[in-house]
Structure 1
Amino acid sequence: MAGHNFLFVSMDAALITDLAWQIHEEGHDVKYYIEADSDGEIGDGFVPKTDDWRAEIEWADVIIFDDIWVGDDIGTGELAQDLRERGKAVVGGTPNTDRLEADREYAMEVLEDHGVNTVEHHVFHDFAAGIHHVEEHPAPYVIKPLGEVQNVKRLLYVGNEDDGSDVVDVLRAYEKAWGHRMKGFQLQRKVEGVEIAICGFFDGERFIDRVNFNFEHKKLFPGNIGPSTGEMGTSMFWAGQNRLFQETFGKLEDWLAAEGYVGSIDLNCIVNETGIYPLEFTPRFGYPTIALQEESLESSTAEFFYDLAHGDDPDPSVHGGYQIAVRIVLPPFPFDDEKTYDENSRNAAVVFETASRDGIHIEDAKRVDGQWRVAGENGMPLVVTGKGDTMQAAREQAYGRIDDIVVPNLYYRDDIGERWIAGDGDRLLAWGYLGP
């Protein structure tokens, strides 16, 4: 593949550094723009930067947006749509696909309008009304904040009590502590089963044949306890357009084509013996999922995204087994505490005990005079991946690689992939979801 020019754009936090680095390492010209001043040093020494992404538009053969957010507002979908109308090849969304993540009620309406099954859900803009609903219809619910505060991951609450009493208590506490910022929330009836995310890559007209199925691990501690984070790790595999795909994204293909969407789109679901119940969309790259997807591509990453952006029938070769990614974090992640970060994590050196960097992916990292160091403000320097013919083999490779990394005060979950081994895979197979 001849060299091409790739422009990466982070209109909020710097998230897409690793993909930019991978494509740069494959020999292509890359420029990376980061809007947030606090993240400006992320990627230094790994990828070339630009201070003015608009000045690079004509230079770029492909423009890639990493998220839907422009500061505190959604907006990259509008930017991507405008660029496509100017004839540019863009990986990114549209105003309507941005809404799938930012407006949970709209997302459910899109699913229902296209014949996709949904779980019972209600949106409230008043805490008293939400509390009254739970008291009138007692059951376990999931609280999902709406709007800007939905990015405060620890506010998502999964109820445990059959009468909903714990949900009522949490809503009352949220009203006192967050009522000035939480302008609305969705109550979603809790469904038991296997949580699985269906991830497809859309080229503006259709999904590619290969579908990514992944399992998020959002809680901070092993055993899925502690505060919610963006994500502590992912296990996954690739398959064809099976029943899980056909009953969800298969029904949305025409809608996405009408939108002109290009890129990764993910639908997190609960699956059990009675059906598939979508929970929420991620109409963008997932993190750290994209690092794991890169690792599992056995053909050129740059060629895949070039073909995807141009609608040139992308046909990537992917690893046929299982893969896991483990996020390496530092204090005070997932919380914000500048003093703790300054004392424990800022500019910390990342030391490798081997020469190999296989399976090592960067998030909040920089390279200074050849030394890898922690960058930014969030304490998420690395993602470490592994793959194998079985989930256990993938786990052994990933955690073996982590053993060769030295960063003072690092921590991570040591159970990524265990849910699959403990029975999730068997249940999905028994319920008939993992056919060809």
Structure 2
Amino acid sequence: MKALVIGSGGREHTLAWSLLQSPRITEVFCVPGNGGTARLPHCRNLAMAPNDFEGIARFALVNNLELVVVGPEQPLAEGIADYLQDQGLKVFGPCQAGAQIEASKAWAKALMTEARIPTAQAEVFDTESAALAYLEQQGVPIVVKANGLAAGKGVTVAHTLAEAVEAVTEVFSGKFGEADSQVVIEDFMTGQEASVLAVTDGQTIVPLMPAQDHKAIGEGDTGPNTGGMGAYAPTPVMTPDMMARVQSEVLEPAIATLRSRGIDYRGVLYAGLMITPAGEPKVVEFNCRFGDPETQAVLPLLETPLDTVMLACIGGQLDALELQWKPGAAACVVVAAEGYPDRYPKGMEIVGLDAAAETGALVFQAGTRLKGDSVVADGGRVLGVTGLGDTVEAAIANAYAAIDKICFENMYYRRDIGYRVKDGV
């Protein structure tokens, strides 16, 4: 069985690797892939763009591909799943209507209100002047979000009024492209964040192992938000009782409300949560795809073949599948280029990848490309190094031991991933 993965990041390298662990998958193609997928056995990169719907469909049909997996949110928001399904292909990823749950934070907030899903109070503004007036009225701390897709960088947690004003001004200035038409301003929530990625066939929704992401660039969760600097799974904050509450108060109401709107949502529904000091789960945001870098921590622990899970979602048979998990834990530490999430250099040769893998870690490449026989940095987040262990602490230690083998000029990574577990916070 042959599959195709759309995307070029660490998440897509992980998806391709995970699919190839299945005895049924013989070959995986990546559009466009990266330096890591290019070196993955039985995997081949295709020089096509993720928005080349016609070209992707033609290749998949001519080569009898039985599964197409859409990694990033942008092509889902543009309707790639609808297009490929209309060509008779099996696609793991929600339709364009369902992808609005990530593509529009205002739309998602309205859905949460309708579904009575717990979340922060928020207001949506179409003009900069109205948004700034609201900031003056509400005060800080407060959270400012670009309404549309901004590659994980459109959220500002403002602790001063000046920061909040700057964030609003940036949104309406066009910094985030199409994301700048509206701004969502919501109440600041405190607590521990957690990521629950769930798979669904539109009727049944099943959570994967809960993870905790580290969004901020700096240690101690300081500095601007990024696409994610590391993650680990499972996270102790998501106890069995808390997972049961998320299932009944968040995941099932979300799918039921989507269905009531006539949306047949099949794929991943990712709930970014805040567990408040009072022990209440509240939704920070929904995403319509696998998280990055949560995927790099969660999928290595999945015992059930990934293609089995995806095909059950596509075929409406998820209720008949019980997910199996490997014992232990996993932790992914992102190695970035210095300067990320702002300007950063490219083209630095990366050495030590094989030595890192020899430690037992999984090195998932993100912003990389091949240059002759070498792998060079080609993005902000360059690598995701995943350590495995009997405990979260052991997995974290193994990830950092592998990073010690890797070197490239201007490399940067946080040294405190999983600090809440290590410090008992």
Q: TM-score, normalised by structure 1?
A: 0.81
Look up the match of 1:432.
none
Residues 312-327 of structure 1 mapped to structure 2, 5 A cutoff? 312-313=317-318, 314-327=321-334
Residues 374, 306 of structure 1: alpha-carbon distance in 2 compared, 3 angstrom cutoff? farther
Q: For 1:21 and 1:30, locate their aligned partners in 2 and report how far apart those are by CA, in whole Å.
A: 9
Pairwise CA distance, 1:299: 3.8
Whether the aligned pair in 1 keeps the contact of 2:102 and 2:288 (CA below 8 Å) is yes
Aligned counterpart, 1:194:
192
Q: Is 2:39 the counterpart of 1:45?
A: yes
The sequence identity of aligned pairs, in percent, is: 20
What does residue 156 of structure 2 align with? 157
Task: State the match for 1:56 in structure 2.
Answer: 59
Range with greater deviation from structure 2 (181-190 or 309-318): 309-318
2:287 to 282, 286, 296: 282
Taking the TM superposition and a 5 Å limit, the aligned residue runs for 1:9-408 are 9-10=6-7, 16-24=12-20, 26=22, 28-34=26-32, 43-46=37-40, 47-50=43-46, 51=48, 52-58=55-61, 59-70=64-75, 74-75=77-78, 78-85=79-86, 87-148=88-149, 150-151=150-151, 153=153, 155-161=154-160, 164=161, 166-168=163-165, 170-171=167-168, 178=175, 182-208=180-206, 210-237=207-234, 241-256=243-258, 259-272=263-276, 273=278, 275-313=280-318, 314-337=321-344, 340-342=345-347, 345=348, 347-353=349-355, 355-356=358-359, 358-366=361-369, 373-374=375-376, 377-408=378-409
With over 3 angstroms needed to count, the CA separation of the structure-2 counterparts of 1:366 and 1:170, relative to structure 1, is closer
User: Deviation per CA, 1:91-115, whole angstroms, max 9, x where unpaired?
Assistant: 1111222111121111011111112
SS in 2 for 1:378: coil
Alignment CA distance shift 1:281-1:165 (3 Å): same
Q: Which moved more, 1:387-396 or 1:53-62?
A: 387-396
Helix, strand or coil: the match of 1:122? strand
- Describe the SS at the equivalent of 2:414: coil
Worse-matched range after superposition: 173-182 or 25-34: 173-182
Residue 51 of structure 2 corresponds to which residue in structure 1?
A: none
Q: What letter is aligned with 2:77?
A: I
Cα distance between partner residues in 2 of 1:177 and 1:250: 36
Question: What is the CA distance between 1:69 and its match in structure 2?
Answer: 0.9
Contact 1:362 / 1:381 at 8 angstroms: preserved in 2?
Answer: yes
Shift of 1:362: 2.3
d(CA) in 2 for partners of 1:180, 1:202:
31
1:44 partner SS: helix
Describe the shift of the 1:174–1:395 C-alpha distance in structure 2 as closer, same or farther (beyond 3 A).
Answer: same
1:167: how far off? 2.1
AA of the residue aligned to 2:301: S
- Which letter maps to 2:341? P
Aligned length: 400
**Contact kept? 1:323, 1:388, Cα under 8 Å:** yes
What secondary structure, in the 3-state scheme, does the structure 1 residue paired with 2:413 have? Answer: coil
1:304, 1:315 within 8 Å by CA — same for their partners in 2?
A: no
Which letter maps to 2:157?
V
Deviation string for 1:216-252 (max 9, x for gaps)? 1111121111232111001221876511222111212
Change (3 A) 1:5 1:329: same
Instruction: Give the direction of change, closer, same or farther, for the CA distance of 1:304–1:169 in structure 2 (3 Å limit).
Output: closer
Deviation at 1:198, TM superposition (A): 2.2
Distance change in 2, residues 1:206/1:326 (3 Å) = same
Read off the aligned partner of 1:251 and give its amino acid letter: P
Q: Matches of 2:123 and 2:31 in 1, distance apart? A: 38
Change in Cα spacing, 1:364 to 1:89, as seen in structure 2 (3 Å) is same
Residues in 2 aligned to 1:303 and 1:372: alpha-carbon distance in whole angstroms: 35
Gaps of 5+ in 1: 425-436
* Unaligned stretches of 5+ residues in structure 2: 49-54
- Return the alpha-carbon distance in structure 2 between the equivalents of residues 195 and 231 of structure 1: 12
CA shift in 2, pair 1:175/1:290, >3 Å: closer
Contact 1:351 1:372 in 2 (8 A): no
Q: CA contact under 8 A between 2:368 and 2:379: conserved in structure 1? A: no
CA apart distance, 1:423: 4.3
Q: CA deviation at 1:13?
A: 6.9
Amino acid at match of 2:286: F
Preserved contact between residue 107 and residue 281 of structure 1 (Cα < 8 Å): yes
* Contact preservation (8 Å) 2:199, 2:205: yes
Residues 303-340 of structure 1, C-alpha deviations (whole Å, 9 max, x = no match): 33344433443433213443321111223432235xx3
CA drift at 1:174: 6.2
Contact conserved, 2:10 with 2:364, CA < 8 A, in 1?
no
Say if 2:18 and 2:300, in contact at 8 Å, map to a contact too. no
Question: 1 CA distance for matches of 2:362 and 2:198?
Answer: 23
Q: Are the counterparts in 2 of residues 223 and 415 from structure 1 also a CA contact under 8 Å?
A: yes
CA RMSD of aligned residues (A): 3.1
Q: Distance in 2 between matches of 1:105 and 1:218?
A: 21
CA contact (8 A) 2:57 2:84 kept: no
